[in-house]
Amino acid sequence: MSPGDPGGTGVIPADRSLRPLAGVLAAIAASVTGTRISLIALPWFVLVTTGSATRTGLVAFCEMAPYVLVKALSGPLVDRTGPRTVSWSTDLVSAAAAAAIPLLHTLDLLSFPVLLGLVAVIGSARGPGDLAKEVMVPEAAERAGTPLERAMGLSGVIERLASTIGPAAGGALVALLGPMTGLVVNAGCFVLGSVIVAVALPRGTGRPAMAPSAPADAQEPGYWRRFVEGFTFLRGDPLLLAVIVVVGITNLLDAALTTLMIPVWAGGSGNGPAAIGLVSTAMGAAAVCGSLIAAMAAHRLPRRAVFLVGFLLAGAPRFLVLAVDAPLGVVLAVFAVSGFGAGFINPVLGAVFVERVPRRMLGRVNALGDSLAWSGIPLGGLLAGAAVTAAGLTPVLLVCGAAYFLTTTLAGLRPEWRAMDRSRERAVPGEAVQDGAKAVP
């Protein structure tokens, strides 16, 4: 089996079709757009109704902690059940929970504990839903006859484009119609994503992954055995572990900036919720350009250099420009440069993961890797809320910017990162033991 085989059978589909790839990308676009709208509407709603930065951070924690935990545990389920089924069903659960927030608020039944419970449900459903869509991208790429890095780049373009449209729409909706309207639109986006996956994708897409060497009548391994297999595989790959550590630290800092520090800056500067949308849009639009270039040329570029330079541009400058209280135009320019650098990161990261992980284990290994990398996100807003309350916004921005710079700079000195540029030429780790020695195409 090679990582390009959708079902782990070693058989490449003879009927090339763009429909699966287009369907998966459309579902990702719908989900990300709704989530980004909510990312503005929900924190702003809590901030203006409670006036508490700590409560705003707590809401972000209650969504992202279940997201990370459930995503970590859902990998074996995605591999066994199939990502298609998991994707459309969890999107419906997210839609129902998101729609309940404005409904209960209208009925004057939305207490703060109930709000925390609903966002926890959204996070719990989003985790496996996002994972399922990620797992379907390599299979859809092969069905379309598209190079892996190009497919990952296109996925990055779609995600970045949705991350541009979502905040812009969210900022406008919140400013004109209030935050509850944004949450209604978020629920509608989840429904749309569910319909796309359930109806638009061909029936053969997103089937459960199986080991090619297993006899037809062999008993499928249980949940915990699958989980341990994924953990053991991940633990044995130094490059993937090094990537996860760096991404985990930067994700914590990004979450602190996005969910709390930018809203606090927008309120304190007098720019209001529209500024949150403008900042996110500037970064997202530039990230789309970066992702487009990555989609066209990433397979020809040195991965290690692209990955680390992208992080240097995407990280510390954003914190510093907010800390010096620069004019809005300067802030938008800096965020645009950061977005351009960020656009190169995910296509490289996604290609490395898919090349190094056997397809039949992709769900569980990606679930564990993503969850470890995202483990700091629930704490980002929570810790930032407490820190800003205690020390003020500017000192926290400076400390976070310095931490981002040191993390991404020191990572380049680690020897494991040299293997990133060799991923195309080496065999997938563990294949010789689990599936027979196969070369990565």
Answer yes or no: are the C-beta atoms of 187 and 199 closer than 8 Å.
Answer: no
Chain Cα centroid distance, residue 91: 15
Domain presence at residue 284: yes
- Predicted local distance difference test score (pLDDT) of residue 426: 45
Biggest distance spanned by C-alpha atoms of the chain: 67
Residue 213 belongs to some domain of the structure: no
- CATH number, domain at 429? 1.20.1250.20
* pLDDT over 60 (residue 265): yes
In the predicted model, is pLDDT for residue 334 greater than 90? yes
Task: Judge whether 219 lies within some domain.
Answer: no
350 pLDDT tier (thresholds 50, 70, 90): confident
Burial of residue 302 (CB within 10 Å: 0-12, 13-18, 19+) is exposed
pLDDT in tens, 208-230: 555 444 444 445 566 677 777 77
**3-state secondary structure at position 439:** strand
Q: pLDDT band at 204, cuts 50/70/90?
A: low
pLDDT for residue 58 is more than 90: no
Q: What is the pLDDT of residues 83-124, one digit of tens each?
A: 888 888 899 999 999 999 889 888 888 888 899 999 899 988
Which range among 65-79, 183-197, 419-433 has the greatest average pLDDT? Answer: 183-197
The number of folded domains in the chain is 1
User: pLDDT digits over 293-325, tens only?
Assistant: 876 765 667 777 777 888 888 888 999 999 988
Residue 122's closest CA among 41, 20, 21, 206?
41
pTM: 0.63
Q: Give residue 359's domain range.
A: 19-203+226-433
For residue 49, tell me if it sits in a domain: yes
Domain annotation covers residue 148:
yes
Q: What pLDDT sits at residue 271?
A: 74
Report the pLDDT value the prediction gives residue 321, as an integer from 0 to 100. 92
| C-alpha to C-alpha distance for 287 and 155, rounded to whole angstroms | 12
Asked whether residue 96 is domain-assigned, the answer is yes
What is the pLDDT confidence band of residue 437, given thresholds at 50, 70 and 90? very low
| pLDDT one-digit tens code per residue, 6-48 | 333 333 444 467 777 888 888 888 888 888 888 888 888 888 8
Give the Cα separation of 88 and 101 in Å (integer).
21
Asked, for residue 217, whether it belongs to a domain, the answer is no
Return the pLDDT at 201.
Answer: 74
Most confident of 67-81, 126-140, 162-176: 126-140
Per-residue pLDDT reduced to its tens digit, 385-424: 888 888 889 999 999 999 999 888 877 677 777 777 654 4
Residue 162 lies in a domain: yes
Q: What pLDDT, on a 0 to 100 scale, did the predictor assign at position 93?
A: 92
Q: How many whole angstroms separate alpha carbon 438 and alpha carbon 347?
A: 23
